[in-house]
């Protein structure tokens, strides 16, 4: 059997928020959010063992992506927050490290995506009846010696949306060979991080704002001071 990937810290170290309704984790890159065809250890399984409680997925992150992910502890909490995702009242920001700086420092991207072979998404013409409209906003935050940091806000939530859309404008995410980056990261992760998540608590109604610390990797550490100075 191939060696299982090693993730930093323990599940308790990944907890960002918890109460009797919800629990949020900072998912390590490379770990599936939920069970997949490969049967790899996944965050839902690990988190349920940690909490000794059944958990209910609300949203997902791609396996190679890191960052904040939220589970319900009760089906009612899962359903209520899922409705917020569908109503687009959830605020979610991502950070993406790219090799090529976009021509525009800020822009709104609109493409049409459809599922393709190999668990990919592809951009097609708007006339394709199988395609779904994908929209995001991005903003350039700064550069290191070799790479550039973008803040991305999703307007829609399509499969591989950020990856495909940034690839389409010539700014693929570092490590994301599927969407045009020249080489993969050794651990098959990509440098896309779900940075913040804000939602209304299903019981109190108060706004909850979560922020996931950056991965402890040199390429991310090069941008940590930049983010600290902007906060």
Which residues make beta-bridge pairs with 192? 96
| Three-state DSSP state, 113 | strand
Residue 192: both structure tokens together: 């896309």
Q: How far is CA 62 from CA 104, 147, 184, in A?
A: 27, 22, 15
Count other C-beta atoms under 10 Å from residue 24's C-beta: 21
Please give the helix or strand (H or E) that residue 17 lies within, else none. Answer: strand 15-18
- With beta carbons less than 8 A apart as the criterion, state whether 113 and 161 touch: yes
DSSP state, residue 34: S
Closest CA to 62 of 99, 94, 109, 14: 94
Q: Identify the active-site residue in 19, 36, 54, 62.
A: 62
88 vs 85: CA distance, rounded Å:
5
Q: How far is CA 95 from CA 77, 180, 191, in A?
A: 27, 18, 8
Q: Could you tell me if 54 and 211 are in contact, meaning their C-beta atoms sit under 8 angstroms apart?
A: no
Establish whether 105 is a catalytic residue: no
d(CA 23, CA 58): 11
Residues acting as catalytic residues: 62
């Amino acid at each position: 059997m191939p060696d299982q990937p090693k993730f930093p810290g323990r599940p308790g170290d990944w907890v960002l928020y918890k109460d009797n309704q919800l629990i949020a984790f900072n998912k390590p890159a490379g770990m599936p959010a939920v069970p997949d065809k490969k049967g790899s250890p996944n965050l839902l399984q690990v988190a349920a063992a940690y909490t000794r409680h059944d958990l209910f997925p609300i949203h997902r992150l791609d396996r190679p992506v890191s960052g904040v992910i939220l589970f319900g502890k009760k089906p009612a909490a899962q359903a209520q927050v899922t409705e917020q995702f569908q109503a687009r009242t959830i605020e979610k920001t991502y950070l993406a490290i790219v090799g090529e700086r976009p021509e525009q420092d800020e822009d709104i991207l609109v493409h049409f995506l459809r599922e393709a072979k190999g668990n990919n998404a592809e951009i097609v013409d708007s006339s394709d009846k199988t395609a779904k409209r994908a929209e995001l906003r991005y903003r350039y935050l700064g550069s290191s010696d070799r790479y550039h940091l973008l803040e991305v806000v999703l307007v829609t939530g399509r499969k591989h949306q950020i990856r495909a859309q940034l690839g389409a404008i010539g700014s693929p995410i570092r490590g994301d060979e599927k969407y045009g980056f020249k080489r993969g990261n050794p651990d098959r992760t990509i440098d896309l991080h779900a940075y913040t998540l804000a939602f209304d608590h299903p019981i109190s109604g108060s706004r909850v704002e979560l922020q996931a610390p950056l991965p402890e990797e040199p390429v991310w550490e090069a941008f940590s001071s930049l983010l600290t100075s902007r906060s």
